């Protein structure tokens, strides 16, 4: 009997040691996988700037393919249906429902990049206290930036499943930039996908805006980027023809895995005066610069240093 | 024969000469020359109205011409020496033209007065396009690039 007790004690001590030796980033890896593999339904509040919305989400993975449905519960109705890499947004504007195809994006709770290695070099991970979120015990985790080019990300991960239940983005002055938090959530076992369809209102006109946002006229870039803030990489490049004018406007999207910034390059029309300087619009910083006949504008929920750095980094 | 035709259109022939000329020209199938002299006469006397489609025809013809990327070829000019006296004047004009153009460009370059960015300068489309490409649950539902 004593031998058995000693063996159990030894076994527990081994588990504790092996746990303490684990890579702390595994907790983020698990969270990233949980957002893809779990089947769940819940409601979360999302706040960005002064706007707050309640969103109902249903997520299921069937045959390695993700199905997500999101409904905006307050204000003007809105719906997102995502299957694999295809996303359709249904927006109600007066008597019309505009259906728009979009590129896949990382929305709460699936905010982590597929490869979490990209954020490991630019954020410090620290584990905080346990807290209850949406009636479930969660582990708080903070990703603090190692430099001034990004904000802090606070996560509360479900102790049982590792699913992110809450996220708060905080700037250097401790202001909340963005937050999302589940108010209720339940795991679903039913693999039925009957819920994966838009809620059709027969009294509305359905208009299919078939142009994929982000898909445009592919043009070779005539610019080069120098000295980008560390960790930021170009993840998208969109070229559009400006309606009514025979000129092209370009948008480059950069991300460090968590933060996003758009860099707009647009020729200045005759008679227009270029803008320079920066403004803070809610949680977005916007930095403008004039260069060789083009208006350069950087837009993003990123520190001013990052915004300025991007607008100054383009050359042609 | 051609001289007589020309005289005819200049109203310089007597009646009997006209009859003789008409008979001769019919024999010699000078129809094409007739039309040339008629056209010349009309133009000189400012009576030529031209065809309604003439402008279009000219533009169509120009359209079909190949683009002269290398400039038009210049035939050898034997009168170069005789024109040499014009070179100083031409050079002066060219110099003035270059100076003027440079000054104009400099003025235009300087006139790109930038203004300080203010909130009202930020187009809604710009912010919406950013939101449509950047992750944010609240703003993902905005209408990017949709115009009624």
Q: Select from B115, B129, B143 the Cβ nearest to the Cβ of A93.
A: B143
Which of B110, B127, B141 is best to mutate for the A interface (most A CBs within 10 A)?
B141
Q: Which residue has the higher pLDDT, B3 or A202?
A: A202
Min Cα distance A49 → chain B (Å) is 9
Residue written as token pair 């004047």? B89
Min Cα distance B83 → chain A (Å) is 42
Q: Select from A49, A80, A299 the Cβ nearest to the Cβ of B140.
A: A80
Question: Which residues in chain B have Cβ-Cβ distances shorter than 8 Å to A276?
Answer: 114-117
Going from N- to C-terminal start, the domains of chain B cover 2-48
Question: Which residues in chain B have Cβ-Cβ distances shorter than 8 Å to A111?
Answer: 135
SS3 for A296-308 is EEEEECCCHHHHH
Question: Which residues in chain A have Cβ-Cβ distances shorter than 8 Å to B133?
Answer: 103, 105, 213-214, 236, 238, 251, 253, 260, 262
pLDDT at residue A153 above 60? Answer: yes
pLDDT at residue A126 above 60? Answer: yes
CA neighbor of A163 nearest in space, from A69, A37, A65, A48: A37
Amino acid A16: pLDDT: 42
Bridging pattern class, strands A260-267 and A224-225: unpaired
**How many contacts does A have with B, using Cβ atoms within 8 A?**
127
Residue written as token pair 């919406």? B128
User: Which phi and psi angles does B74 have, rounded to 5°?
Assistant: -105, 125
> Which residues 55-84 of B are in CB contact (within 8 Å) with A?
none
Interface predicted TM-score (ipTM) of this complex, two decimals: 0.82
Q: What is the pTM of this model?
A: 0.69
B120 touches chain A (CB under 8 A): no
pLDDT at residue B81 above 70? Answer: no
- Is A55 in contact with B137 (Cβ distance < 8 A)? yes
Min Cα distance A219 → chain B (Å) is 18
Amino acid B145: pLDDT: 46
Cβ atoms of A124 and A146 within 8 Å: the answer is yes
Cβ atoms of A149 and A232 within 8 Å: the answer is yes
Mean pLDDT, chain A, rounded, equals 87
Which of A48, A57, A169 is best to mutate for the B interface (most B CBs within 10 A)?
A48
**Residue A93 pairs with which residues in a beta bridge?**
A96
Question: Which residues in chain B have Cβ-Cβ distances shorter than 8 Å to A103?
Answer: 133
Question: Which residues in chain B have Cβ-Cβ distances shorter than 8 Å to A302?
Answer: none
B42 touches chain A (CB under 8 A): no
pLDDT in tens, B101-136: 544 443 344 456 889 998 888 888 888 888 877 766
Q: How do the residues of chain A divide into helix, strand and coil, expressed in percent and rounded to 5? A: 15, 50, 35
Min Cα distance B124 → chain A (Å) is 11
Amino acid B103: pLDDT: 44
Cβ atoms of A93 and A205 within 8 Å: the answer is no
Residue of A nearest to B134 (CA): A260
- Is B135 in contact with A251 (Cβ distance < 8 A)? no
Question: Which residues in chain A have Cβ-Cβ distances shorter than 8 Å to B113?
Answer: 273
- Is A100 in contact with B140 (Cβ distance < 8 A)? no
Domains for chain A: give ranges and CATH numbers: 24-209 (2.50.20.10), 224-315 (3.30.200.100)
Amino acid A140: pLDDT: 97
Question: Which residues in chain A have Cβ-Cβ distances shorter than 8 Å to B132?
Answer: 102, 213-214
- Is A48 in contact with B139 (Cβ distance < 8 A)? yes
Q: Select from B141, B144, B147 the Cβ nearest to the Cβ of A78.
A: B141
Which residues does A59 contact at the CB level (< 8 Å), separation at least 6?
Answer: A35, A38, A39, A40, A41, A66, A67, A68
Cβ atoms of A47 and A179 within 8 Å: the answer is yes
pLDDT in tens, A105-117: 788 999 999 888 9
B124 touches chain A (CB under 8 A): no
pLDDT in tens, A211-241: 655 556 666 788 999 989 999 999 888 888 7
Min Cα distance B62 → chain A (Å) is 25
Amino acid B126: pLDDT: 86
Q: Select from B113, B117, B140 the Cβ nearest to the Cβ of A105.
A: B140
What is the arithmetic mean of pLDDT over A27-36? 95
pLDDT-based confidence at residue B91 (cuts at 50, 70, 90): low
pLDDT in tens, A188-218: 998 889 999 988 888 888 888 766 555 566 6
- Lowest mean pLDDT: which of A14-28, A72-86, A275-289, B109-123? A14-28
Amino acid A120: pLDDT: 94
Q: Which helix (H) or strand (E) holds B132?
A: helix B124-133
């Amino acid at each position: 009997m004593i031998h058995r007790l000693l063996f159990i004690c030894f076994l527990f001590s081994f588990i504790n040691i092996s746990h303490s030796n684990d890579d702390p980033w595994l907790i983020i890896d698990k969270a990233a996988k949980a957002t893809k593999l779990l089947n769940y339904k819940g409601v979360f509040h999302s706040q960005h700037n002064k706007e707050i919305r309640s969103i109902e989400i249903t997520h299921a993975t069937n045959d390695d393919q993700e199905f997500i449905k999101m409904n905006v519960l307050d204000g003007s109705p809105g719906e997102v249906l995502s299957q694999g890499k295809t996303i359709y947004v249904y927006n109600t504007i007066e008597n019309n429902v505009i259906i728009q195809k979009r590129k896949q994006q990382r929305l709460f709770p699936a905010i982590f990049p597929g490869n979490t290695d990209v954020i490991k070099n630019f954020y410090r991970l620290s584990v905080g206290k346990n807290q209850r979120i949406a009636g479930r015990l969660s582990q708080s985790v903070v990703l603090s930036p190692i430099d001034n080019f990004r904000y802090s990300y606070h996560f509360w991960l479900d102790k049982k499943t590792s699913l992110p239940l809450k996220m708060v983005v905080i700037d250097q002055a401790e202001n909340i930039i963005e937050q999302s938090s589940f108010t209720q959530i339940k795991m679903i076992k039913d693999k039925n996908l009957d819920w994966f369809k838009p809620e059709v209102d027969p009294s509305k006109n359905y208009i299919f805006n078939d142009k994929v946002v982000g898909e445009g006229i592919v043009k070779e870039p005539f610019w080069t980027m120098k000295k980008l803030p560390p960790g930021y990489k170009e993840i998208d490049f969109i070229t559009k023809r400006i309606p009514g004018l025979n000129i092209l406007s370009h948008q480059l999207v950069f991300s460090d895995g968590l933060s996003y910034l758009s860099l707009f390059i647009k020729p200045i029309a005759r008679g227009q005066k270029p803008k320079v300087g920066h403004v803070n619009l809610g949680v977005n910083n916007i930095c403008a610069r004039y260069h060789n006949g083009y208006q350069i504008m950087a837009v993003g929920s990123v520190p001013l240093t990052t915004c300025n750095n991007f607008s100054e980094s383009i050359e042609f | 024969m051609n001289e007589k035709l020309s005289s005819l259109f200049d109203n310089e022939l007597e009646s009997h000469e006209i009859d003789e000329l008409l008979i001769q020209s019919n024999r010699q199938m000078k129809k094409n020359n007739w039309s040339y002299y008629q056209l010349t006469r009309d133009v000189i006397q400012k009576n030529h109205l031209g065809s309604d489609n003439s402008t279009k025809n000219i533009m169509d013809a120009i359209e079909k011409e190949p683009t002269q990327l290398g400039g038009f070829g210049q035939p050898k000019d034997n009168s170069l020496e005789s024109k040499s006296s014009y070179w100083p004047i031409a050079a002066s004009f060219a110099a003035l033209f270059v100076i003027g153009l440079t000054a104009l460009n400099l003025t235009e370059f300087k006139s790109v007065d930038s203004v300080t960015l203010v909130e009202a300068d930020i187009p809604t489309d710009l912010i919406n396009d950013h939101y449509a490409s950047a992750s944010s649950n609240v703003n993902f539902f905005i209408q990017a690039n949709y115009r009624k």
